[in-house]
Structure 1
């Protein structure tokens, strides 16, 4: 499949653009084509199997389905000012409370970490340091530094409801 993708992805995207699809949508539909072919490959017993033809036919079908769905959606043009005023940028009171509670749980979870693990995590996440920089500063191997950061992420994910 990897070889087919490298050989045919650009051609499929070009064919989709010729059917009136913009560049971004063509890239998405090309990905969808290969995902569909991976999920439902052609039957092995098919006579005169043509992988390239199968890919292009799948892309054509996906494009037709996409265009049908787009035709059902009613769009309204908005200028920039209308778009800015459309949605309220401020979070809801519930969202504010939830965010504050998540932040408190994060502080608590960070406090539960061993000192070195917390320090490595803070250097990586807040200090934007690389694993190599963390390892050098803490005097440990890169593998150990990555292990500390990974342990911290696992702990935080387990303790803090991110949803």
Structure 2
């Protein structure tokens, strides 16, 4: 006889999680072990427990909690503060990343220089100055739709040049 795992989960998941919380597990660990319990129930073929799946689920969750506690005692998890992490981590990019970024900036500048004056101006107003397309249109003497076409073409041009490096 196969169990309806979906129905069992709806009926017993919260109860299992509360039971694990009473054992002293954190909310997250209790939720993880509850999920693991149902995963075991899905993949296992228990014998002789078809008449009481609830008891089987509780036994599996207790066993998983015992294993979890045993692992936690043998290899405790140490929490370190963010101040220690920040002291160890170097906020500067690696030399390779810095070189790559410089190459991309140079390629972007070259790509912008290749654009017609009006297209470059519309792109710079949009991308660098943060103006909307409706605000840029009158400045370059075009409609909103034409302005959008210029900016779209500029984005495509720069993107295509960046793909080359």
TM-score, structure 1 as length reference: 0.52
In our comparison, the structure showing a higher alpha carbon Rg is 2
Which of 135, 138, 144 is 1:133 aligned to? 135
Q: CA deviation at 1:83?
A: 2.1
How far apart in 1 are the matches of 2:77 and 2:131? 45
CA RMSD of aligned residues (A): 3.0
Aligned pair in 2 of structure 1 residues 86, 161: CA closer, same or farther (>3 Å)?
farther
How far apart in 2 are the matches of 1:76 and 1:106? 45
Q: CA deviation at 1:162?
A: 9.5
Alignment of 1:1-163 (within 5 A): 76-161=78-163
Aligned length: 97
Runs of 4+ in 1 over 2 A off after TM superposition: 74-78
Task: Tell me, yes or no, if the aligned pair for 1:102 and 1:161 is still in contact at 8 Å.
Answer: no
Q: CA deviation at 1:97?
A: 1.2
Unaligned ranges ≥5, structure 2: 1-13, 18-26, 29-67, 69-75
How far apart in 2 are the matches of 1:148 and 1:138? 10
Task: Tell me, yes or no, if the aligned pair for 1:124 and 1:131 is still in contact at 8 Å.
Answer: yes
Q: CA deviation at 1:77?
A: 2.2
Q: CA deviation at 1:86?
A: 3.1
